[in-house]
Amino acid sequence: MTAPLIQLQPHDEHNQALEANVHPQRWTNPTPTRPYQLVVVGAGTAGLVTAAGAAGLGARVALVERELMGGDCLNVGCVPSKGVIRAARVAAAVRDAEPFGVEVPRGVAFDFGKAMQRMRRLRAQISPNDSAQRFAEMGIDVYFGKASFVDDGTIGVTASDGSAVQLNYKKAVIAAGARASAPPIPGLDSVPYLTNENLFSLTELPKRLGVIGSGPIGSEMAQAFARFGSEVFLLERSDKLLPREDPDAAAVVQKHFEKDGVQMLFGSKDLQVRPADDGAICVQMVQEGTTREVVVDQLLVAVGRAPNTAGLNLEAVDVNHDQSGIEVDDFLQTTNPRIFAAGDICSKYKFTHAADFQARIVIQNALFSIGPFGKKRASGLTIPWATYTSPEVAHVGMYEHDAKSAGIEIDTYTQHFADVDRAILEGQEDGFVKVHTRRGTDKIVGATIVAENAGDMISEITLAMTAGLGLSKIGGTIHPYPTQAEAIRKLGDQYSRTRLTPLSKKILDILRRMNVGS
């Protein structure tokens, strides 16, 4: 049995329950008796879906995990972060309740320790879905230990007590994921900085929090901790928030960050870090040629992810890889035809839902295809994503700059929530739905939504793109009133109005006159 590299703190009843599911202390690795049809390395989302799907279809499967089953998503990513964000949203809702007739005379008293305890309890509650016991009951041989390729057909698994076994395989899938990586900032290693791997072990609210990077993780946590009451400094190298998102969307979110008190330090370059007095951390930066410093109690580094390829001995099986991950083709096959990969270790789409659907492709291509027949392509996936700030930003398909780079002419339709009744009633007028279509058609090529629940709303547009339904079909679909989803339907109406050419207007005028006269 090997100890997990990620140590969850505190060691309370909730984390004990979690670890009992995803890395049980008394787990005994099986003894392999014959070759496996499929060996899966890594028990994050991609690995779990691959193993469960393959076993469910009759394959003999082994699953190897060196840390915590469920991967980053369950343990140090999606699940705990959304628990934290929910607490922050409730705190903000109470703070902003006065216009609704709700008064809090003494102000909002926030208990960070209780909020984090709730997160740990709910994370443990979810964890049986990813447990070693559950997957063993599916007929999967679950091994805890460090996996390393021995040769083309053999994977060694070494437990922490030094015991080792060798697993023979017909096909293998590498789904070992990625982990937080720190940029080469001078002095960073001299301070105890945070990443997503230890942020959710905090039990006390930092009075001052520095966040390096305004991507999804950095932005979500900066806003959440500001709402909890921390003084938050968000350091971003570029000149705007969420630099990879639609600029209009980022501008809306930035307005809300200002309201929540997040101090955004754009254009922060040449960072240096050093210890300060009383255990604090000093971060020095250059902004527009001027050197300035901020002193914080905790520093969250939220830039970059590195693939977990170290120690896999990929050279032994001729699997090409570099600092961005494992090289795969459109069928998610590596440079070794017997070995496939899925999830963060090989994909630019580092999302749980992307890993899920890549795993489904791997099952098909590794086990149920013959030559070129029956294979599925990863490029056929339509992958949405969301950043869970308030408001949320969700996107699918192309941005305007993507279309321009690809030489695709587009029409853009925008519906602001300031003109949507339900959004007005909810006090959520900020935001919009923006859809891009191929010029002169209703074929959707991309969309961005900025709304409190944009992550839920984007699925309607994703479905339309996947099923080949145009914007006019959405416009012809009855949506309940009043809902914020009406904003999407209204875009269909916008498109329909563009079809009213002078000729069509003349025909409609003739038909009207024939029915009701002039």
β-strand pairing of 164-174 with 339-341 = parallel
Does the model's pTM come out above 0.85?
Answer: yes
What's the pLDDT tens digit per position in 437-455? Answer: 999 999 999 999 999 999 9
- What pLDDT was estimated at residue 502? 82
Is 213 annotated among the ligand-binding residues? yes
Q: Which residue matches tokens 């079909």?
A: 473
Burial of 317: CB neighbours in 10 Å, binned 0-12, 13-18, 19+ = buried
Which pLDDT score is estimated for 425? Answer: 98
220 labelled ligand-binding: yes
- What is the per-residue pLDDT across 377-427, written as a single tens digit (0 to 9) for each? 999 999 999 999 999 999 999 999 999 999 999 999 999 999 999 999 999
Convert the pLDDT of each residue in 4-52 to its tens digit.
Answer: 567 899 999 999 999 999 999 999 999 999 999 999 999 999 999 999 9
- Is 4 annotated as ligand-binding? no
Residue 126, annotated as binding a ligand? no
Q: Please, what are the averages of pLDDT over each run of 10 residues along the chain (518 residues)?
A: 70 97 96 97 99 98 98 98 98 96 90 98 99 98 98 96 95 98 95 97 98 97 98 97 97 98 98 96 96 98 95 98 98 98 98 98 97 94 98 98 97 98 98 98 99 98 98 97 98 92 82 86
Q: How far is CA 174 from CA 11, 214, 278, 455, in A?
A: 31, 30, 45, 29
- Was 206 annotated as part of a binding site? no
| Residue 214 counted as an annotated binding residue | yes
Which uninterrupted H or E stretch holds 98?
Answer: none
Establish whether 231 is an annotated binding residue. Answer: no
pLDDT score of 518? 77
Cβ 323 vs Cβ 308: under 8 Å: no
What's the confidence (pLDDT) of residue 5? 62
Check the annotation: does 236 bind a ligand.
yes
Annotated binding residue 215: yes
Closest CA to 353 of 124, 39, 67, 78: 78
82 marked ligand binding residue: yes
* Inter-CA distances, 424 with 161, 417, 447, Å: 61, 7, 22
Please report the domains of the chain, with CATH numbers, ordered by start residue: 9-69+132-179+306-369 (3.50.50.60), 188-303 (3.50.50.60), 391-502 (3.30.390.30)
